[in-house]
């Protein structure tokens, strides 16, 4: 398993070389979400990286409306000769690099892309130009193991770093700052809400928009060996927010994991750490509770819905089944709370209170009252 | 001779079969709906298989189209269940599916020939993105809400693909599909229908170069309203105008379909919007529950003025929905399903499927058993005198505190 991380200075490059890392992600300010490098700085760091034997990965990970895309084009053209591969997330950037350059592409599939077919399809769409897929951290370990085995290109996973929760192009913080300091290019804040138990979300606004991160950083250091065994090719370490960066300590823990040292590292680190969904992802288990399932059973022998339940008088049922409702039909009525009632229709009237033998779909049937039945109860034919 | 004007389609939300009917009767050219799975509105009533079939039949009989959303980012186990549903959608004549996940697109294409529309959830924002989605098999792209109408026109011309844009409704503040707050803070996958709307919370912010903490609803967006931008949409040849809101009420679905379709028809006839009707349509849009309106990025990039820095209000606003008309005949009168109570003597407004509202004063009313009542109760049916022009499924509203 290899390591990849970001470089923002000559010092960073030397450190990477010392740690045996053989590539570096460089982020131009105009193309990368959290980039700090001017074009000149990018070129200079790229040249130095190559001298050190580091492969240069240009991160072009902003999402771009058409006007922004057009504005980015000259910059990316200018920097292309200084990059060995381009990392993109916007499908438009993927298509541009594919059709306008011969550079290898590293596709950031970190948002969505939670099925193998999607990942395979990205590779197919780029006609073999994707040299690496950067997987979502929402994938659990079994899924990662499966994908790493089946995908025809090497995979990368964030192994340590901030978890990006939210990305908008709109400036959300600067308007809250008094005018005298509003010339700043970047704003940062910590946010908390009474409606959430989590306190201290790091929030950043820069020229590309506003970003919110999780209060805890993502850490798979203790599972690095497992990931290596699975066949993961690249383990990414993101220390862009940590001052000073703890790259050396992290690398040494990954190479030789020691629980005591790890606990000591965690206690000294600036943020709490979490493993996210690495062990299991159950983010759909609450869905059935989001709606009343008893109101959803409307298939097959469904008749319609009770619109009025007038005690000791009648039930008014909006008939929805094309078969309609007729006298002597036996009905099963499902109360919104789950209780069921049965009744045989012995009194059937239309809306003008005229006795009829049948009520067609789309009209209201007035039948005898059935004790316990409420409005919103769902009505079914019993005999199917 | 004047060049014929190509109007965009009005595409309305339909969270249930009733809402589908309401939206189409009020003028929508197409509706988008969700089945019980694979969409992003898990809590919505959504459609059973039978209801999908009935909804399609209802729509096609009236010349309208139905698009089914499959716009979750599916995990492998979800994807395994998809082919059967896709085959069913094709069998019942679904006009298109709305998809954001490339794995879902592939699955749809392997198991059917249903046209694929790329969901806004995919954040397609530029010409090159459109080229790529077209190559993946899409026939239409629902652009991200960050794209201006001018940019959209360029994307349409250069990529030669149908373009759909949101014209009205609530907005994600984040790039759609790029917010996972709910996933990591509530254990609910926002991109599979579990969004907890954390962006609407009030946040306390500190460290902002100011001494004191600031409280703000800084991640909450105002609602999109694009009525006055309709000429630009038409000029740029935008194919479809989408109204957000499958979770919203019948009144919302009906009002939006009516206003936007009437406005476009007016433009078709007159070639402009220079009319007092524009003010009337704007008033209509204000009569449904909404946050403060913004044009967001339709013309200029959305800035701080597009933030809705206020607490969410669950009330209906100035107008409330009294209820839908269930049946209306001269013999039986108007049978109304009461959702919000009203009194004898109150003034109500009935929304006809087209044209101006019908104002009535309820001088007499009866319950279903023909007994006079002076005050209605929610969840009951009430009978009021017949008014010519009133039909089943029309909506009745009342000014709050009238």
- Residue pLDDT, tens place only, A268-304: 999 999 999 999 988 887 776 666 555 556 667 899 9
A307 touches chain B (CB under 8 A): yes
Domain ranges of chain A: 2-168+182-274, 293-381
Residue B2 pLDDT = 62
Average pLDDT over residues B346-355: 95
Token representation of residue B225: 């309203």
Residue B194 pLDDT = 82
CATH of the domain at B141: 3.20.20.70
Tell me if B259 sits within 8 A of B285, measured CB to CB. Answer: yes
Is the confidence at residue B212, as pLDDT, over 90? no
Is residue B203 left, alpha or beta, with left meaning phi > 0 and alpha meaning psi from -120 to 50? beta
Where is average pLDDT lowest: A58-72, A293-307, B116-130, B347-361? Answer: A293-307
Residue B347 pLDDT = 96
Same domain for B76 and B28, yes or no, is yes
- List CB contacts (< 8 A) between B151 and chain A: 65-67
Among the residues of B112-249, which ranges form H helices?
A: 127-135, 149-159, 181-186, 230-235
Average pLDDT over residues B9-26: 96
Q: Domain A293-381 - what CATH class?
A: mainly beta
Report d(CA B327, CA B391) in Å as an integer. Answer: 7
Is the confidence at residue A23, as pLDDT, over 90? yes
Same domain for B324 and B270, yes or no, is no
- Residue pLDDT, tens place only, B152-162: 999 999 999 99
Closest CA to B8 of B183, B209, B142: B142
Same domain for B23 and B122, yes or no, is yes
Residue B274 domain flag: yes
Average pLDDT over residues B81-106: 96
148-177 of A, contacting B, C-beta below 8 A: 163-177
Q: A45 or A292, which is more confident?
A: A45
B135 → chain A, closest CA residue: A125
| A296 contacts B100? CB cut-off 8 A | no
Report d(CA B266, CA B231) in Å as an integer. Answer: 11
Residue B346 domain flag: yes
Is the confidence at residue A35, as pLDDT, over 80? yes
Interface test with A, best of B85, B106, B142, B184 (most A CBs within 10 A): B184
Closest CA to B234 of B179, B283, B271, B285: B271
| A310 contacts B184? CB cut-off 8 A | no
**Residue B214, phi then psi, degrees to nearest 5:** -115, 135
- Length of chain A as a residue count: 384
Burial of A322 (0-12, 13-18, 19+ CB in 10 A): exposed
- List CB contacts (< 8 A) between B25 and chain A: none
Chain centroid to Cα A299, Å, comes to 32
Report d(CA B24, CA B22) in Å as an integer. Answer: 6
Residue B358 domain flag: yes
Residue B228 domain flag: yes
Report d(CA A253, CA A222) in Å as an integer. Answer: 8
Report d(CA A208, CA B175) in Å as an integer. Answer: 12
Cross-chain CB nearest to A66 (options B103, B126, B173): B126
Same domain for B333 and B247, yes or no, is no
Q: Report the C-alpha dihedral over residues A129, A134, A138, A142, rounded to 10 degrees.
A: 80
Residue A382 pLDDT = 86
Average pLDDT over residues A124-150: 97
Average pLDDT over residues B150-176: 97
Domain count, chain B: 2
CATH number of this structure's domain A2-168+182-274, picked from the four choices 3.10.580.10, 3.30.497.10, 3.20.20.70, 3.20.20.140: 3.20.20.70
Average pLDDT over residues A18-41: 96
Q: How does residue B316 score in pLDDT terms, banded at 50, 70 and 90?
A: low
Report d(CA B232, CA A80) in Å as an integer. Answer: 37
Same domain for B296 and B344, yes or no, is no
Same domain for B130 and B241, yes or no, is yes
Residue B130 pLDDT = 98
Average pLDDT over residues B76-100: 95
Cα A131 to Cα A32, A86, A122, A126, B190: the distances in Å are 20, 10, 11, 10, 30
Domains A2-168+182-274 and A293-381 in one fold? no
> How much of chain B exceeds pLDDT 90, in percent?
79
**Residue A186, phi then psi, degrees to nearest 5:** -140, 140
Same domain for B329 and B373, yes or no, is yes
Cross-chain CB nearest to B174 (options A166, A299, A318): A166
Residue B148 domain flag: yes
Cross-chain CB nearest to B129 (options A67, A95, A118): A95
| B183 contacts A138? CB cut-off 8 A | yes
Helices and strands (DSSP H and E) totals, chain A = 9, 21
- Residue pLDDT, tens place only, B250-278: 999 999 999 999 999 999 999 998 889 99
Report d(CA A25, CA A55) in Å as an integer. Answer: 9
The predicted complex's ipTM stands at 0.94
**Final residue belonging to a domain, choices B301, B328, B352:** B301
| B205 contacts A295? CB cut-off 8 A | no
Residue B280 domain flag: yes
Same domain for B329 and B293, yes or no, is no
Closest CA to A201 of B302, B304, B219: B219
Enclosing domain of residue B16 = 9-175+222-301
A9 touches chain B (CB under 8 A): no
B101 touches chain A (CB under 8 A): yes
Residue B4 pLDDT = 77
Residue B335 pLDDT = 94
- Residue pLDDT, tens place only, A59-105: 999 999 999 999 999 999 999 999 999 999 999 999 999 999 999 99
Residue A197 pLDDT = 83
Tell me if A172 sits within 8 A of B173, measured CB to CB. Answer: yes
Residue A322 pLDDT = 85
Beta bridge pairs of residue B396: B323, B350
Tell me if A315 sits within 8 A of A306, measured CB to CB. Answer: yes
Report d(CA B139, CA B133) in Å as an integer. Answer: 9
Residue B312 pLDDT = 76
Cross-chain CB nearest to A308 (options B177, B181, B380): B380
Q: B210 or A215, which is more confident?
A: A215
Closest CA to A188 of A162, A214, A175, A206: A206
Q: A181 or B3, which is more confident?
A: B3
Is the confidence at residue B402, as pLDDT, over 70? no
Residue A180 pLDDT = 53
Same domain for B244 and B333, yes or no, is no
Q: How does residue B100 score in pLDDT terms, banded at 50, 70 and 90?
A: very high
Q: What is residue B206's three-state secondary structure?
A: strand
- Locus of tokens 């192994």: A159
- Residue pLDDT, tens place only, B272-302: 988 899 999 999 999 998 999 999 999 999 9
Taking the model in full, what pTM does it have?
0.94
Tell me if A215 sits within 8 A of A164, measured CB to CB. Answer: no
CATH of the domain at B345: 2.40.30.10
Closest CA to B8 of B267, B192, B195, B214: B267
Same domain for B345 and B288, yes or no, is no
Residue B306 domain flag: no
Same domain for B235 and B324, yes or no, is no
Is the confidence at residue A176, as pLDDT, over 90? no
Which residues are within 8 A (CB) of B371 and not within 5 positions of it... i.e. 6 or more apart? none
Residue B288 domain flag: yes
Beta bridge pairs of residue A306: A317
Residue B309 pLDDT = 87
- The sign of the CA dihedral A28, A30, A32, A33 is positive
Q: A351 or A90, which is more confident?
A: A90
Token representation of residue A314: 């009648």
Interface test with A, best of B37, B132, B300 (most A CBs within 10 A): B132
Same domain for B293 and B333, yes or no, is no
Average pLDDT over residues A237-262: 94
Where is average pLDDT lowest: A27-31, A280-284, B19-23, B54-58? Answer: A280-284
């Amino acid at each position: 398993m290899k390591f990849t991380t970001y470089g923002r200075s000559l010092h960073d490059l030397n450190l990477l070389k010392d740690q045996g890392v053989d590539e570096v992600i460089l982020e131009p300010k105009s193309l990368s979400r959290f980039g700090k490098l001017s074009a000149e700085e990018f070129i200079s760091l790229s040249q130095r990286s190559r001298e050190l034997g580091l492969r240069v990965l240009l991160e072009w990970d902003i999402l771009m409306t058409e006007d922004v895309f057009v504005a980015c084009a000259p910059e990316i053209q200018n920097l292309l000769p200084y990059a060995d591969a381009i990392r993109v997330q916007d499908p438009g950037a993927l298509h541009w690099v594919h059709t306008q350059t011969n550079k290898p592409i590293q596709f950031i599939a970190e948002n969505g892309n939670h099925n193998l077919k999607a990942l395979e399809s990205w590779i197919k769409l780029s006609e073999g130009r994707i040299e690496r897929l950067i997987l979502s951290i929402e994938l659990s370990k079994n899924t990662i193991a499966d994908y790493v085995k089946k995908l025809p290109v090497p995979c990368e996973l964030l192994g340590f770093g901030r978890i990006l929760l939210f990305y908008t192009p709109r400036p959300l913080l600067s308007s809250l700052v008094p005018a005298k300091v509003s010339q700043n290019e970047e704003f940062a804040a910590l946010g908390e809400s009474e409606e959430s138990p989590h306190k201290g979300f790091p929030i950043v606004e820069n020229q590309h928009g506003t970003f919110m991160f999780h209060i805890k950083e993502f850490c798979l250091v203790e599972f690095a060996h497992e990931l290596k065994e699975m066949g993961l090719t690249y383990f990414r370490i993101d220390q862009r927010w940590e001052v000073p960066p703890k790259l050396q300590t992290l690398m040494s823990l990954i190479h030789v994991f020691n629980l005591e040292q790890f606990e000591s590292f965690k206690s000294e680190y600036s943020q709490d750490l979490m493993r996210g969904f690495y062990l299991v992802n159950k983010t759909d288990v609450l869905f059935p509770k989001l709606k009343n399932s008893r109101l959803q059973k409307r298939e097959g022998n469904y008749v319609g819905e009770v619109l009025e339940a007038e005690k000791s008088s009648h039930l008014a049922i909006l008939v929805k089944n094309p078969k309609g409702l007729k006298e002597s039909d036996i009905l099963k009525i499902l109360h919104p709370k789950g209780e069921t009632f049965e009744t045989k229709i012995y009194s059937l009237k239309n809306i003008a209170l005229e006795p009829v033998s049948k009520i067609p779909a789309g009209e209201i049937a007035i039948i005898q009252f059935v004790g316990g039945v409420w409005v919103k109860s769902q009505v079914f034919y019993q005999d199917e | 001779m004047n060049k014929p004007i190509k109007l965009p389609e009005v595409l309305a939300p339909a969270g249930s079969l009733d809402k589908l009917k309401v939206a189409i009767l009020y003028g929508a050219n197409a509706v988008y709906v969700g089945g019980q799975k694979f969409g992003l509105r898990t809590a919505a009533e959504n459609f059973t298989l039978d209801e999908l079939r009935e909804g399609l039949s209802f729509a096609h009989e009236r010349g309208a189209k139905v698009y089914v959303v499959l716009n979750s980012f599916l995990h492998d186990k979800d994807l395994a269940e998809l082919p059967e549903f896709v085959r069913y959608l094709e069998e019942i004549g679904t006009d298109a599916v709305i998809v954001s996940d490339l794995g879902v697109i592939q699955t749809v294409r392997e198991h059917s020939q249903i046209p694929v529309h790329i969901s806004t959830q995919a954040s397609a924002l530029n010409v090159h993105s459109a080229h790529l989605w077209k190559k993946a098999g899409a026939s239409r792209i629902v652009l991200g809400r960050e794209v201006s109408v001018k940019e959209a026109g360029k994307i349409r011309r250069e990529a030669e693909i149908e373009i759909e844009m949101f014209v009205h409704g609530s907005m994600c503040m984040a790039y759609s599909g790029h917010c996972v707050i709910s996933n990591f803070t509530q254990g609910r996958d926002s991109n599979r229908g579990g969004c907890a709307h954390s962006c609407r919370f009030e946040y306390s912010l500190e460290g902002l170069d100011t001494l004191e903490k600031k409280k703000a609803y800084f991640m909450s967006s105002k609602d999109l309203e694009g009525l006055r931008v309709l000429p630009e949409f038409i000029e740029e040849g935008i194919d479809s105008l989408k109204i957000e809101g499958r979770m919203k009420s019948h009144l919302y679905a009906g009002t939006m379909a009516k206003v936007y379709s009437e406005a476009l028809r007016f433009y078709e006839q007159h070639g402009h919007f220079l009319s007092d009707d524009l003010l009337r349509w704007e008033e209509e849009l204000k009569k449904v529950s909404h946050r403060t309106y913004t044009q967001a990025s339709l013309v200029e990039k959305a800035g701080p003025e597009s933030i809705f820095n206020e607490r969410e209000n669950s009330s209906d606003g100035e107008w409330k929905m009294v209820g839908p008309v269930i049946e209306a005949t001269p013999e039986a009168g108007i049978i109304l399903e009461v959702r919000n109570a009203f009194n004898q003597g109150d003034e109500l407004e009935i929304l006809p499927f087209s044209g101006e509202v019908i104002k009535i004063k309820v001088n007499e009313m009866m319950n279903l058993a023909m007994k006079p009542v002076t005050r209605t109760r929610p969840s009951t049916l009430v009978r009021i005198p017949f008014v010519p022009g009133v039909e089943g499924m029309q909506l009745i509203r009342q000014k709050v505190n009238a």
